[in-house]
Structure formats: C-alpha cells, structure tokens
Amino acid sequence: MKKWIAMLLLSLMLVSTLAGCTPAATEAAEQAAATKAPAQDVNLSFFTGKVETIDLLDEIIAAYNAQSNGITVEQEYQADASNIIKIKFASDAVPDVMTTYEQEFVDQGKYLALNDLSQWWDRLIPSMKESCTDLTSGNQYRVCTNMTMAGFFYNKQMFADLGITPATTWEGFVANLETIKAAYPDVDPWFIFGEAWHLGHLIEFFPQGYIKAKYGATAAKQAFLSNDSSILQWGSPDGAMATFAKNLVELQQKGLINADVLTATSDNCVDAFVTGKAAMFSNGMWCLSGILEKNPDMADNIGFAPYPAMMADGVPVVLVAEDSGYSIYVDSPNKDAAVDFLTYLFSAENMKKYSEALGSPSAFTDVTADWAPASVVTGVSDAVKSATNIGFTNEKPAGFSGDDAGRLVQDLLAGTYTPEEFALAYQAAWNAGF
C-alpha cells in the first residue's frame, strides 16, 4: 500500500510540473514563430543563353525553390539570347536575373549596380572583379562565376605523329593545316561550326584580338567605345577585318576547313573532334565538359594553343576572361529575392559543381574544383603564359551584337561578299550600331 501511494504522489508531481511548464513552452514557440520571416510569394524570372549550364541550374534552382520560403525561380533558355533580350527590354517583359550583358544596356541604365554586395566581391578574384567593372562608370553591373580561356583545341597525338607543333604565325598555321590534310584526307584540319555566336567569336579573337593586343586592353576598349576609326580601320582593304576575311576564304577554298561550315553545329564539332575526324577547332573552356562526356578517353589527348598572329605586326593571343556573368534588372520588383537567389547560387558548394560542370576554373577564391584533367590544366596554363592575354569585346555598339557579326561571317562563307566587301559591310554595320 505504501509503495502504491508513493507512486501515486510521484505521478501527481510530474503532472503538476509539466502543467506548470506548458505556458512558458507555448510562449517560446509563439515567439519563434513570430520572428520567422513570413513566407513570400515571388516568381523570379531567370533568363540565359548559356546552353552548357541548363541542366545543372535546373538542379540548383529546384534545391533553392525547396528552401526559399516562397521564392520560385523559373529558368528560360534562348539560343539567340543576345537578340531575344532586346525584344524583352522593348516589350517590358524583362527578366529579373539574366546572363545576357551588353554595353548598350549598361549605357541605358538597364542593370542594377552591384557595388555594395561585398558578400560576393570579397570572395572574387580581383582581376575578375576588374573584368566585371564598367569602364565608363566604374560600377559593377554583373558578377562572373568563372574564368575562361579560349584558343585552339587540337589532337595532340595527331600533331605528334606528324611532327608538328601549334603555330605562332598565320603562315605556320596554314602550313600545319596543309600537312594534316595531306596526311589525313578524311580529316578536317580546322572544324568551324556555323552558329552565329561562334563565328562572332572568331572576329573577337582574330581581328579584334589584334587591336586588343596591339594597343592594350584599356586603349582598345576606349577605341571600341568611341569608335576611333584611326585605330579600328574596319573597312580598310589592308586592315585586320579584311585580312581576317581573306584568310578565312582562302582556307575554305583550299578545303582546310569543313565543307559543311554553314550548317555544322557545336555538337557536330565535338563529335568530329572526339572521333578523330577533326584535328583542331576554336572554342573556350565551356566546351570541355561536352568533349569529355562524349569520350572520357580523350582527356590526355586534348591540346590547347593560342591563336596565331594573323597580321604581320601581330602576336599570338589567348582569351583569358570573365565567364558566366549574372546581372539584375534595375527596375525588377524582386531585387531582394534576386540577390537571395544569386547568393545561394554563388555558394562555394554550388560553385564547385558549376565549375566542374562547365569545365572552367572558378572566379571565387574559396572554391577548389577539379575543372579539367591535369594534362589539360597544364596545357592551358602553358598557353596562357606563352601568349598575349585578351578579353571579350564587351564594348560593342548598341545595335550590333556578336551574333550580328557572326551572321556577316555566314554571308562571307556563303559567297555573298568578297573579303574587301565584307570589311566594308562590317564597318557599315558597326557604325550604324552606334
């Protein structure tokens, strides 16, 4: 009986204690709920033209949406993004976040200044922050996630078998192509695909690259922005643009580039390279993941070289630039949500995945990524050290995009222009763009 009474008293004490704690526990829970940020109802639009990152960003966006407390990001990809974005700006259907970046939109005040976002800039490599800085205003309107390099990818084994090395002059470059063609008639010495952005890049890296290397990055940017014809000389029959066109047409006539250049796609190029049907091609690090995905055994056979000097007083160049930049629309009603999403995207964990998927080194100092096989990394490093480093041509006129330039190259390769006519057409389009 005494044991039973003792157990009863103990039970009553426990009930009393728990009952006494209930109001306090309830009050704490209510306070926690009150301090938690209210759920938002934000649809954040994200626009990109970067095909290489679509699948990874879908994955990252899904993870972000699951924990965002009401912010829902939707990705839109357009292959012709540089022109589609113009339509979006003109029709007031502007995305909140975009990877498209044009000087004309900087000058029109379309982008949000990101200068105060130290949580990003404090982590970025200083040279990459400099590359993201607008020359005129000194502001940053985009933040890049990666560094990229562009040059010639080549088949190392094929070059070794033929006893040739990447050329530094145009004459040596053509001689290499002719050697390849003579030894391997079924191989395209230089594979060029006809997508407008890619052909526009050839202009950025060859004739415009000549200007950048000759005058230096800052002076070249100022010449582009001010349309200094004394430096650019786009229409001159002896200038860099006419020389580029003449050289390209001669290679086409000699069968040293692929016959299907106008219809070939980037996928066709990768397929030709990994199967040994193409000896070399021009592109940036963004294509590396696609090569290795289609043929992992190619890793140790991928060479990388600068662009040879095209002009008599030129030097070899290699692109070393910012890549994968993100901007926020200045009039977006969802600026805070956009910053929140990009901060999530730019986390070290996500940027490691991003760098490895893109095949480019990260622009963030706290990200360590295996972005390429060791042999490729070494080859890229050697190429960067051996040539003059140039950047992208971001200082293009408002009405003349890189894709527009690429379409002119398509016309050149289709026989619409002679090299001299092409140079004059380019100059006219460039001037009209201002």
Cα 14 from Cα 212, distance rounded (Å)? 81
* pLDDT beyond 60 at 314: yes
What are the pLDDT digits (tens) for 187-205? 999 999 999 999 999 999 9
The answer to whether 315 touches 137, Cβ cutoff 8 Å, is no
Cα 156 from Cα 394, distance rounded (Å)? 32
Query: 231 vs 134, 170, 201, 319, CA distance in Å?
Result: 21, 22, 20, 21
The reported pLDDT for the residue numbered 38 is 55
The reported pLDDT for the residue numbered 83 is 86
Chain centre to alpha carbon of residue 163:
34
Chain centre to alpha carbon of residue 246:
29
* pLDDT beyond 80 at 6: no
Among residues of the chain, what percentage have pLDDT more than 90?
Answer: 80
What does the angle CA 424 – CA 204 – CA 88 come to, to the nearest 5 degrees?
90
Phi, psi of 361 (to 5 degrees): -65, 145
Cα 296 from Cα 289, distance rounded (Å)? 9
The reported pLDDT for the residue numbered 39 is 62
**pLDDT band (50, 70, 90) for residue 434:** confident
Give the residue carrying structure tokens 């970025």: 124
The answer to whether 140 touches 115, Cβ cutoff 8 Å, is yes
Helices and strands per DSSP (H, E), number in the chain: 20, 9
The answer to whether 257 touches 187, Cβ cutoff 8 Å, is no
Which residues are CB-neighbours of 6 under 8 A, at least 6 positions away? none
Helix axis angle for 240-253 and 196-205, nearest 10°, is 120
Least confident of 6-15, 111-120, 281-290: 6-15
Cα 188 from Cα 185, distance rounded (Å)? 8
Could you count the other beta carbons within 10 Å of the beta carbon of residue 212?
Answer: 24
What's the token pair of residue 325? 């930049």
Q: Span 242-257, mean pLDDT?
A: 98
Least confident of 24-28, 148-152, 289-293, 411-415: 24-28
The reported pLDDT for the residue numbered 1 is 41
The answer to whether 418 touches 236, Cβ cutoff 8 Å, is no
**pLDDT band (50, 70, 90) for residue 104:** confident
Phi, psi of 381 (to 5 degrees): -60, -45
Do strands 143-155 and 317-328 pair parallel, antiparallel, or not at all (unpaired)?
Answer: antiparallel
Least confident of 160-164, 243-247, 287-291: 287-291
What's the token pair of residue 420? 């001299």
* pLDDT beyond 70 at 282: yes
Per DSSP, the three-state class of 240 is helix
Cα 169 from Cα 239, distance rounded (Å)? 17
Task: Label residue 294 exposed, middle or buried (CB < 10 Å: 0-12, 13-18, 19+).
Answer: middle
* pLDDT beyond 50 at 360: yes
What's the token pair of residue 314? 């030129």
Phi, psi of 309 (to 5 degrees): -65, 125
**pLDDT band (50, 70, 90) for residue 359:** confident
The reported pLDDT for the residue numbered 21 is 43
* pLDDT beyond 90 at 24: no
Q: Span 332-346, mean pLDDT?
A: 97
Residue 53 DSSP label: G
The reported pLDDT for the residue numbered 260 is 98
What are the pLDDT digits (tens) for 371-391? 999 999 999 999 999 999 999
* pLDDT beyond 90 at 186: yes
* pLDDT beyond 70 at 7: no
The answer to whether 289 touches 358, Cβ cutoff 8 Å, is yes
Among residues of the chain, what percentage have pLDDT more than 70?
Answer: 91
The reported pLDDT for the residue numbered 34 is 40
* pLDDT beyond 70 at 62: yes
The answer to whether 427 touches 235, Cβ cutoff 8 Å, is yes
The reported pLDDT for the residue numbered 23 is 43
Cα 433 from Cα 425, distance rounded (Å)? 12
